[in-house]
Amino acid sequence: MTKEYRKNVHLTFPPTISGSPVICDLTKMFDLSFNILKAQITPRKEGHMTVEIMGTKENYQKGIEYLEKNRIVVTPVTQRISRDEDSCMHCGMCTAICPNGSLFVDREKRIVVFDIDRCTACGMCVRVCPVNAMHVDAENGMI
């Protein structure tokens, strides 16, 4: 099986589900691999997890359906982070701190490329960007 499909998603677990082992079902039932990038349970027992899921596209979709059936809200990470293109001056400082290389310098064009598909919305770039060009939607307080 080729695992060519990979995606970073943000999962929100309602308090009734956050204590159950749901994520490992992705592997058991759908042959998907996962890489937990960040996980937190709030004092109100709501769970938040940023996870990279890898597998075939078909299995990925089945897995997501399974999660949603279990009342887990699935949000693509790419919707949670943005760059103000007018403000970014392509200095490159963010590339030092980006943990997985989703911000990197294109050596030919010498511009900073933002690969949103790889981004895990960790928010490090938001803290570091000297001109405040990176923005993370902080609605669930998960920066």
Partner 1 sequence: MAHTKVNKTIAEINERIRSGKAVVLNAEEMTEAVRTMGKEKAAKEVDVVTTGTFSPMCSSGLLFNIGQKEPPTIKTSKVTLNGVPAYAGLAAVDGYLGATEPREDDPLNKVYPGQFKYGGGNVIEDLVAGRTVSLRAEAYGTDCYPRKSYEKEITLADLPHAELFNPRNCYQNYNAAVNLTSRIVYTYMGPLKPNMRNVNFATAGCLSPLFNDPLFKTIGLGTRIFLGGGIGYVIGAGTQHVPNPKRNERGIPLSPAGTLELKGDLKQMEARYLRGLSFIGYGNTMSVGVGIPIPVLNEEIAWYTGVADSDIEMPVKDYGHDYPNGLPRVLQHCTYEELKSGEVEIMGKKVETVPMTSYPISLEIADKLKEWIQKGEFLLSEPVEKIPAW
Q: Which residues bind partner 1 (CB under 8 A)?
A: 89-93, 95-97, 105, 107, 109-111, 127-128, 130-132
- Give the burial class of 74: count Cβ atoms within 10 A of its Cβ; 0-12 exposed, 13-18 middle, 19 or more buried: middle
Minimal distance, residue 66 CB to partner 1, in Å: 38
The Cα-based distances of 71 to 12, 47, 116 in angstroms read: 9, 12, 26
- Rounded to the nearest whole angstrom, what is the least distance from the CB of residue 112 to partner 1 in the complex? 9
The answer to whether the beta carbons of residues 127 and 96 sit under 8 Å apart is: no
Which CB atom, from 73 or from 96, has the smaller least distance to partner 1? 96
Write the CB contacts of 92 (distance below 8 Å, at least 6 apart in sequence).
105, 112
**Which of helix, strand or coil describes residue 38?**
strand
Closer residue to partner 1, CB minimum distance, 89 or 138: 89
Q: 73 or 111: whose CB is closer to partner 1?
A: 111
CB-CB contact of 91 with 99 (8 Å):
no
How far apart are CB 121 and partner 1 at their closest, in Å?
18
In whole angstroms, give the CA distance from residue 136 to residue 129.
Answer: 12
- Closest to partner 1 by CB, 39 or 105: 105
71 vs 90, beta carbon nearer partner 1: 90
CB of residue 119 to partner 1, shortest distance in Å: 18
Shortest reach from residue 141's CB to partner 1, in Å: 18
